Amino acid sequence: MVVAVYPGTFDPLTYGHMDIIERALPLVDKLIVGVYENLTKRPLFPLEQRLRLVEEAVSGLPNVEVKAFKELTVDFIHRVGGKVMIRGLRAGSDFEREFDMALMNRNLAPDIEVICLMTSSQYQFLSSTLIKEVAELGGCLEGMVPEHVAVALKERFSMPTKLATGKGKM
């Protein structure tokens, strides 16, 4: 049985993340979405809320689990019985960082393979950082994040419904 882990902070979860999750599923027997508790990044959403948002987004997908972790990613992968780390790449700038991390992880845990999936073209521009900025400034998030994530962002920034979903009254 091939168990893979897709780690990230998912602050917030985007359709780019969902694209990687859905495309990784046919490659493995079980996919664990590891939600990292990285306090140095000062997440917008607390860990428990990020877990709930990811769980809701993947609830209809087979063989997907969502778990929190705060140790080294390779240690988490070992703890859950994983053999593969899934990573998403958007552009050339992602490649350099992911390559460096893959080499470090290979040094720390040579038994774990890293599989990088290129994000589908319609999601190349998405990043959690940009999503937070758009949400904070009241921009429309339609097509960028799942609806329940847009609602959570709206609540976090106290935005009118129209700005979170592209629909409704101001």
Name the 3-class secondary structure at 1: coil
Q: What burial class does residue 164 get, using C-beta atoms within 10 Å of its C-beta: 0-12 exposed, 13-18 middle, 19+ buried?
A: buried
Pick the catalytic residue from 42, 59, 79, 90.
90
Across the chain, how many H-helices and E-strands are there?
Answer: 7, 5
Q: Is 41 a catalytic residue?
A: yes
Pick the catalytic residue from 17, 50, 132, 154.
17
Q: What whole-number distance in Å separates Cα of residue 161 and Cα of residue 168?
A: 6
Tokens 């935005």 appear where? 159
Pick the catalytic residue from 41, 70, 79, 97.
41
Pairing between strand 64-69 and 30-36? Answer: parallel
Pick the catalytic residue from 50, 87, 128, 154.
128
Q: Is 90 a catalytic residue?
A: yes
What are the catalytic residues?
A: 17, 41, 90, 128
